[in-house]
Structure 1
């Protein structure tokens, strides 16, 4: 896969839970890393699901992203190599992160703590993926301030577009006041069930609304995608031949090619 000229920092966000944010973060990161890109995943969700999916230790006491945000510990000290994937690192989230939302309120420059930590990282990455919690609190704001691009996974189900306006409004507020380079660059349709007319209708709605921001690759409902995290793996390594894995590979390929064609960090 082509490598971008400079680091692409992508925040994976949607305030709805269960739309495939973490699954998307993990599988895109693994796909890009397996094909020659240097990738860092930052788990910003207190549930720590991205850490689980990459089989990175994240029990209480493990140095994690909380230490970076609250205690200014350098990211390089908490990033862990992902076993079996040489170009992939993960900054885990432990349960300590659950309190960070409240603790950040009184911290100086609270919205840009993550941005500063990424900027101070001594190594050079091709991609940094930030897996956000399903809410619009200070952790998500930190991710939006640190990122140049927002990737929004949208589930092909009835309530898919509900709450999306609120997310877009918040992104616009962050762009106006904190990060003028932020751009909703990528929409990915997930949990697509070809047997239903509803999935088709949602896909058309999303494509009409967001145009060419929507990837051509669509992620189907796939048992292998759901099973993989219980083995501490991505679907890319758990079952590379499955429909879920090939779909995520196609999505990663599209994201990589778009990054080469378009200047990263442009305003929308």
Structure 2
């Protein structure tokens, strides 16, 4: 059964979509079958995979609101080596229309029930707000990956997100858990970055991924070419970092299968 991971942070500009696209492509490079679901009306993850959001006949909006089967909407992002459930501006109307449906929080979970066995990983790129679309992702997910910059305001936003995850776990999705915290745009020369990183590790321990994503020009350039960074410049520091993250994610999953109570990892400072 495919593992569903929601990649979310209510704060924008933290590398959420960049992480979703590049982690998906990196997992695919390890011969895993990956589906990326774009739940952001901006459609940036869709475009970042090389799929033109302006040329879609159907989108994730149709899956959520009109109950169109997901397999009829999924498209291949051949350069990235993944499948994509794409998004465009139509999704903006979904939040209001979902409120009129019964059990609206579970629309995505129901849509994925028939296809999740076809994939090893399903990554969901959430909008940068705690709205009905994000709630749908959290209700459908097995785990949550939180990309965040190591800065003061990021810690404030993290507390609100943790409350939301706890609330969803308590009421709608008992199996939901924090999969990991990913430090993005990391600059070890910045003393605040190092201090916030230390606080994260002190509080969350092995939930903080050892892999850090550096500030990297090639990583920033890749989306404008409709490519994940490993296809744009596989030797760049950004590409190497996301491949390392994919490896870490896979190792954690395999370790979880062979032991019921995972032993703490030694977190890298």
Q: Work out the CA distance in 2 between the residues paired with 1:142 and 1:267.
A: 28
What runs of 5+ residues in structure 2 fail to find an aligned partner? 263-269
Report the CA distance between 1:60 and its aligned residue.
6.3
> Partner of 2:53: helix, strand, or coil?
coil
After TM superposition, the structure 1 stretch with the greater mean CA deviation from structure 2, 240-249 or 114-123, is 114-123
Q: Work out the CA distance in 2 between the residues paired with 1:123 and 1:217.
A: 28
Q: TM-score, normalised by structure 2?
A: 0.93
Report the CA distance between 1:57 and its aligned residue.
2.1
Q: Which residues in structure 2 correspond to 1:17-36 (within 5 Å)?
A: 17-36=12-31
Which aligned segments of 4 or more residues in structure 1 are displaced greater than 2 angstroms?
Answer: none
Q: Aligned match of 2:126 in 122, 132, 148? A: 132
Report the CA distance between 1:68 and its aligned residue.
0.3
1:44 alignment counterpart: 39
Q: Work out the CA distance in 2 between the residues paired with 1:101 and 1:245.
A: 34
> Partner of 2:152: helix, strand, or coil?
coil
Would the aligned equivalents of 2:80 and 2:231 in 1 still touch at CA under 8 Å? no
Would the aligned equivalents of 2:49 and 2:80 in 1 still touch at CA under 8 Å? no
Q: Aligned match of 1:171 in 155, 165, 168? A: 165
- Does residue 1:76 correspond to 2:41, yes or no? no
Deviation by residue 1:33-81 (Cα, 9 ceiling, x = unmatched) = 0110000000000000100110112116531000000000011011000
Q: Work out the CA distance in 1 between the residues paired with 2:80 and 2:214.
A: 25
2:177 alignment counterpart: 183
Deviation by residue 1:190-220 (Cα, 9 ceiling, x = unmatched) = 0001221111111111111111011111000
Q: Work out the CA distance in 2 between the residues paired with 1:165 and 1:233.
A: 33
Q: Work out the CA distance in 2 between the residues paired with 1:246 and 1:38.
A: 20
- Does residue 1:100 correspond to 2:94, yes or no? yes
Q: Work out the CA distance in 2 between the residues paired with 1:90 and 1:230.
A: 18
Report the CA distance between 1:263 and its aligned residue.
4.2
How large is the RMSD of aligned CA atoms in angstroms? 1.7
Would the aligned equivalents of 2:46 and 2:86 in 1 still touch at CA under 8 Å? yes
Q: Work out the CA distance in 2 between the residues paired with 1:83 and 1:14.
A: 28
Q: Aligned match of 1:260 in 204, 229, 254? A: 254
Would the aligned equivalents of 1:60 and 1:96 in 2 still touch at CA under 8 Å? no
Would the aligned equivalents of 2:80 and 2:227 in 1 still touch at CA under 8 Å? no
